[in-house]
Amino acid sequence: MALRKFTAVRNIAIFAGVLAACLLAPAVVRHYTGKAFEEFRAPLDAIPSQLNDLEKFWDLRMNYSKSELIEVGRDLARLNAGYAIKLTENEALKSRVESLEKILSLPGEEKFKMEVARVARRDINAWWQHLIIRKGAAHGIREGYAVIYGGGVVGRVVKANTYTSVVELVSSRGFRMAAHFLGEDRPVIYQGAGSLSFQDARGEVRDVPADLKASTLKPLQLVTSPLAGSFPDGILIGDVIDLTLEPDGIFRSGTVRLPRTLGGVREVAVLIPVSDLMEE
Amino acid sequence: MKSARYSTRHNSRIPIFYWIFAAAFLALIAALGYRQIFLYDFYTKRGERQSMRRVIEPGARGDIYDRNGKLLVTNEPFFTVGIYFNEILGEFRKEYSRLKKIKFDAMRAAGETPRFKDGEVSEMTHQARANVLNRYLGMINKILGSNYEMPEDNYNRHFRINPLLPFPLIRELTAREHAILAERIPVNSPLQLYTDTKRYYPYGDIAAHVLGTVRNSDGVDSEGMPGEDLRTFAGVGKVGRSGIERAFDYMLSGQSGLKIMVVDNEGFKYEDIMDVSPKKGKSMNSSLDIDLQQVIEDSIGNRKGAAAVLDVKTGEVLALASRPSYNPNTVYKSNAEYAAAEEAGAWLNRSTQGLYPPGSTFKIVTAMSGLMTGAIDDQTVITCNGYYKVDSRLFPCNNRYGHGNLNLEGALALSCNVFFYKTGLDCGHRAIAATAKEMGLDSSTGIEIGDSPYTVVPTPEYKRRRGRGGWVNGDTANISIGQGDLLQTPLQMACMTASFARGETRTKASIVHDPTRVTDMEYHGGEKLGLTREQYETILKGMVLSSTDGTSRRARIKGVTIAAKSGTAQVTVNGRPLTLAWMVAFAPADDPKVAMSVMIEGEEPGDVGGGKTAGPIVKAAMEQYFRK
């Protein structure tokens, strides 16, 4: 009886001690404990994605014949060979541009390096508009870096763990950036507007000069602005089909239709500023 | 075995817990019922207050145009980063506690009793606010790589008056700064980017005094708007501070708009439940001709002076210049520019508020008075020897060698003082004062932007009131040539000239362009001049002669006959004798359309003269007017 009582009291004391330690621990200790926990937990986000890849691999092995797979592999090899040639051409052009820049004493055009990453998880609902990608600080990714894909802007890195990163999507209400319309250089402000149930993701554009108009027949393409320095110029954000004049009579505002492919994005590229790479 | 027995045995203490739990649940159910039924209204309102916000947006001000539709004042957008005080109240309190702890610890260490002295609480509160705001500003500076400093100590006033409105930390951000902050400041941060508008004056310092300026209003009129009990955010409106902006504030001010919205738990808008858009204020068409205004101000240049140009028939002010001027786009932003404007005396609108003796331009009134009283007629000839003896004092003429024999026409053309000393003394000071008052020289011109109520047409009563003794003949001689205590504004003299040009006694000046206005004698509020046709013609010929061969000849232009009268007045400023150059004119002399007055202040004794200084300005203005 006495032993049981002692055990119960001891358990309560341990629990109270841990609780007190959590509450009273210095902020630095709590911060690093939290970070360590995040890092420890981070692979859990990546593992399902990797299992998914494995599942697809076995799916191919089980459902397709060897000859079919070989045929697809050949096609892929041909495509890769084509891309390799293109890459070589690009490299040649790039070095030519660099040499011309040197001759003309122009500042270098290349401001970003791309780090391609695979999407591990998607948290897209009315509250959260996040992606988790399978690359992190170990690959040079830091918070605030821009993330793009073939269809345009994906978002911005809001958290960089060692091997994974959290990307806030362009449709998130917390995402705001400078932009401009294609063929226009006057800056406007874009902000995500979330996504309603059964509807595409959308955003809002404001501070649009009053002389700009958009319609379904003549939509305006909203693209990134290089003004803030985190995005290169001209990457598609979305289309604007209607701009309403604000009561001040100076600006218009409107809704931005984001690309539908944004919801199913699998591979993204994180833009790492060259200046940051040079610092490192 | 022991434990099994223990577990199955009835324990009489257990029902006590049942009863305790039952009572607790009953209390919960009762409390729930009480809140659901009796406190329904209270919680409904509280819920509305927590989940609804009211935003009042002031309407944009209307634009101001000149009579030809040229834009003189409009609104220009700019971006500001501001901070919501209500979002950082906790930080203020925390910082205050920190400062208080440091102070009390120091007092304890020094062996003193820790307590505040008078005023220290308020001082520490201000310091805490400054520290927190500086932290946020430091954060912005770090993001931008800039070195902005806190706006002057107006955050305490803002905290007191507008705690719900954002306090501007950095105004007029560049496009790059705006873009960077838009990306780097979290959307739900107490720091927020917002667009504001400022008044923009495309012509800079031209017509600055007439157009006026605006200031931020202390609040936005929300009377009668729904949702008074909701948490309200109101933008900062603008009210006219001076000039047209002030006089027509009722018209230019926009109508405030209102939004009542439901917000989610993060404070984001969920949906609008009421949206009344603000309305831009009405535009105002001023009577100014900005091209003419510009020509006149350019002609005055860096000198101190003023000019007024009127449409003779309607009294509409075509130009109202006052130099030195200030650039309303920049003067309130730069301490150096503000101080320079202050130093130069640029705030004074010399055309409507500057009081000056009109000098010889007043001889038109003396001539009218002399003719109306019969003291002179068109045949009267007076000999000028270069001076005139009044009692025991010699009053000089502008030509010290004398003009010889002159009639009224010649006296006006050559601006002979002796002729007008004698005329004034013959008709008497009361007759001159009566004529001046008939011409409206002692009352307001009626211009909407206001003019000086202190113009003076001196009388013996006035002189006595000022403690300057009784009226003597020398006073009459002085006012006969527009000197002495006579004080007029340039606009007043332009109105007098326009009235004379129409053959009437009054001209009601207006800064509003209204092509539909009926401008007869009744509108202007005067009557026909008490002169015969011949008498009027005599004065007119004298003025025309002045512009062709007399003292006003520098004002003559090709193809148009101008009637003009120059004047050079003497004043004493801070013990220094200075001169004022005047000229009044109207044209064409046979069918008057435009009337004007020009006054330039001298800086050294005798450095300016009516003909040589004011004449070229009249010429430039007339050429511009008739070029159209």
Query: How close does chain A come to B186, measured CA to CA in Å?
Result: 7
CA dihedral sign of residues A229, A232, A233, A238: negative
Predicted local distance difference test score (pLDDT) of residue A276: 80
User: How much is the average pLDDT of B183-207?
Assistant: 89
Q: Which of A156, A248, A250, A251 to mutate to test the interface with B (most CBs of B within 10 A)?
A: A248
Q: Is the model's pLDDT at B268 over the cut of 60? A: no
Cβ–Cβ below 8 Å for B179 and A225? yes
Mean pLDDT of chain B: 89
Q: What's the CATH code, domain B52-285?
A: 3.90.1310.10
Tokens of B362: 């007043």
Mean pLDDT, range A58-71, rounded to an integer: 87
- Whether residues B187 and A191 touch (CB distance < 8 A) is answered with yes
pLDDT at B50: 65
Opening angle at CA B290, ends B284 and B296, nearest 5:
140
Detail the DSSP E strand segments found in chain A: 112-124, 129-133, 146-149, 152-160, 165-169, 176-181, 188-192, 202-209, 220-224, 236-245, 251-257, 267-273
Q: Is the pLDDT of residue B48 over 90?
A: no
| Lowest mean pLDDT segment, chosen from B7-16, B389-398, B411-420, B427-436 | B7-16
Q: What is the DSSP string of A186-217?
A: S-EEEEE----TTS--EEEEEEEETT----SS
Q: Kindly tell me if the per-residue pLDDT of B86 is higher than 80.
A: no
Q: Which residues of A touch B179 (CB under 8 A)?
A: 177-178, 187, 225, 227-228
CB contacts < 8 A, A to B, total 68
Residue range B215-232: mean pLDDT, rounded:
75
Residue B479: its pLDDT value, please? 94
Check residues B397 and A47 and name the one with the higher pLDDT.
B397
Predicted confidence (pLDDT) per residue in B584-601, tens digit: 999 999 999 999 999 999
Q: Taking every pair of C-alpha atoms in chain A, what is the biggest distance, in angstroms?
A: 91
CA B202 to chain centre: 17
CA distance B256 to chain A (A): 10
Q: Which one, of B614, B462, B492, B607, lies nearest residue B546 by Cα?
A: B614
Q: Which residues does residue B339 pair with via DSSP β-bridges, in sequence order?
A: none
Residue A68 scores a pLDDT above 80: yes
**Is B583's pLDDT higher than 90?**
yes
Residue that has been written with the tokens 């075995």 in this structure: B1
Residues of A with CB under 8 A from a CB of B: 144, 156, 173-178, 187, 189, 191, 207, 225, 227-230, 247-251
B437 touches chain A (CB under 8 A): no
pLDDT higher for B277 or B208?
A: B208
- Give dist(CA B616, CA B603) in Å, integer: 18
Selected residue with higher pLDDT from B9 and A193: A193
Coil, helix or strand at residue B586 = strand
Residues A254 and A242 sit within 8 Å (Cβ to Cβ): yes
The pLDDT value recorded for residue B581 is: 95
Output the pLDDT for position B260: 82
Rounded percentage of chain B residues whose pLDDT exceeds 70: 94
Assess whether pLDDT exceeds 90 at residue B157.
no
Interface test with A, best of B55, B79, B183 (most A CBs within 10 A): B183
* CA dihedral of residues B122, B125, B129, B131 (deg, nearest 10): 110
Q: What is the pLDDT of residues B416-428, one digit of tens each?
A: 999 999 999 999 9
- Cβ–Cβ under 8 Å, residues A237 and A187: no
Contact B282/A at CB under 8 A: no
Q: Which residues pair with B192 in a beta bridge?
A: B82
What is the pLDDT at residue B1?
A: 43
CB neighbourhood size of A11 (10 A): 10
For B105-156, give the secondary structure using H, E and C. Answer: HHHHHCCCCCCCCCCHHHHHHHHHHHHHHHHHHHHHHHHHCCCCCCCCCCHH
- Using 50, 70 and 90 to split pLDDT, how confident is the model at B333? confident
Q: Which two tokens stand for residue A173?
A: 């209400």
Residues of B in contact with A248 (CB under 8 A): 60, 75, 77, 195, 197, 278, 280
Return the domain boundaries, chain A: 2-62, 112-280
B142 touches chain A (CB under 8 A): no
Whole-number pLDDT of residue B8 = 56
Lowest mean pLDDT: which of A191-195, A234-238, B248-252, B448-452? Answer: A191-195
Domain ranges for chain B, please list them: 52-285, 290-336+349-627
B197–A191 C-beta distance less than 8 A: no
When pLDDT is cut at 50, 70 and 90, the band that residue A225 belongs to is very high
Please state, in angstroms and as integers, the Cα–Cα distance from residue B351 to each residue in A178, A240, B242, B323, B346, following that order. Answer: 48, 53, 14, 9, 12
B179–chain A Cβ distance below 8 A for any pair:
yes
Mean pLDDT along residues B398-408: 91
| Residue B532 pLDDT level (bands cut at 50, 70, 90) | very high
On the question of pLDDT at B2 being above 60, the answer is no
By C-alpha distance, which of A145, A172, A152, A150 is closest to A223?
A152
Burial string for B492-528 (b: 16+ CB within 10 Å, else e) reads bbbbbbbbbbbebbbbbbbbbbeeeeebeeeebebee
Name every chain B residue with its beta carbon within 8 A of the beta carbon of A144.
Answer: 184
d(CA A182, nearest CA chain B) in Å:
17
CATH architecture of the domain covering A112-280: Beta Barrel (2.40)
Residue B6 has pLDDT above 70, yes or no: no
Which of A93-97, B134-138, B351-355 shows the lowest per-residue confidence on average (mean pLDDT)? A93-97
Alpha-carbon distance A141 to A154, whole Å?
Answer: 15
Is residue B4 over pLDDT 50? no
- Segment of A46-50, A260-264, B237-241, B337-341 carrying the highest mean pLDDT: B337-341
- CATH number for the domain whose boundaries are B290-336+349-627: 3.40.710.10
The larger pLDDT score, comparing residue B221 to residue B166, is at B166
pLDDT higher than 60, residue A34: yes
Q: How many residues does chain A have?
A: 280
Distance from CA of A163 to the nearest CA of B (A): 24
User: Taking a contact as any Cβ pair under 8 Å apart, which residues of chain B between 189 and 208 contact chain A?
Assistant: 193, 195, 197
A3, A227, A237, A244, best to mutate vs chain B, most B CBs in 10 Å: A227
Estimate the crossing angle of helix B363-373 against helix B417-427, to 10 degrees.
40
User: End-to-end distance of chain B based on CA atoms, in angstroms?
Assistant: 122
Looking at CA atoms only, how far is residue B38 from chain A in angstroms?
35
Q: How far is CA B275 from the centre of its chain?
A: 34
**Over the stretch B280-290, which tens digit does the pLDDT of each residue have?**
889 999 999 99
Q: Does B186 touch chain A (CB under 8 A)?
A: yes
Whether residue A57 is predicted with pLDDT greater than 90 in this model: the reply is no
Q: What is the DSSP letter of B162?
A: -
Q: B462 near B487, Cβ under 8 Å?
A: no
CA distance B233 to chain A (A): 17
What is the percentage of chain B residues whose pLDDT exceeds 90? 64
pLDDT at B133 over 70: yes
Task: List CB contacts (< 8 A) between A250 and chain B.
Answer: 60, 75, 77, 195, 197
Lowest mean pLDDT among A11-25, B151-165, B524-538: B151-165
Q: pLDDT-derived band of residue B605, with 50, 70 and 90 as boundaries?
A: confident
**Identity (one letter) of the amino acid at A178?**
A
Which has the higher per-residue pLDDT, B52 or B270?
B52
Other C-beta atoms within 10 Å of B38: how many? 9
**pLDDT tier at A127 (50, 70, 90 boundaries)?**
low
Same CATH fold assignment for domains B52-285 and B290-336+349-627: no
Q: How far is CA B265 from CA B14, B268, B417, in A?
A: 43, 7, 85
Distance from CA of A178 to the nearest CA of B (A): 5
Distance CA B37, CA A149 (A): 56
User: Would you give the end-to-end CA distance of chain A in angstroms?
Assistant: 64
Can you tell me the distance from the alpha carbon of B198 to that of B627, in angstroms, rounded to the nearest whole number?
35
Q: Side chain identity at B344, as an amino acid letter?
A: A
- Rounded mean pLDDT of B616-623? 96
Contacts of B77 in chain A (CB under 8 A): 207, 248, 250-251
Q: At A195, give phi and psi (nearest 5°).
A: -135, 130
Residue with tokens 């001159």: B432
Q: B176 to chain A nearest CA, in Å?
A: 5
Amino acid, res. A28: V
* Residues 6 or more apart whose Cβ sits within 8 Å of residue A86: none
A191: chain B residues, CB-CB within 8 Å = 187
Tell me what the mean pLDDT of segment B364-392 comes to.
93
Summarised one tens digit per residue, pLDDT across range A155-206 is: 999 999 888 999 999 999 889 999 999 988 889 999 998 776 666 788 999 9
**Does A251 sit within 8 Å of B77, measured CB to CB?**
yes
Surface-to-core class of residue A57, CB atoms within 10 Å of its CB (0-12 exposed, 13-18 middle, 19+ buried): exposed
List CB contacts (< 8 A) between B186 and chain A.
Answer: 174
Question: Which chain B residues are within 8 Å of A189, Cβ to Cβ?
Answer: 178, 182, 193
Range list of β-strands (E), B453-603: 563-573, 576-587, 594-601
Mean pLDDT (whole number) for B145-150: 89
Average pLDDT, chain A: 86
Q: Is the pLDDT of residue A62 over 90?
A: no
- Contact B1/A at CB under 8 A: no
For B78, the closest chain A residue by CA position comes to A207
In tens, the pLDDT along B551-564 reads 999 999 999 999 99
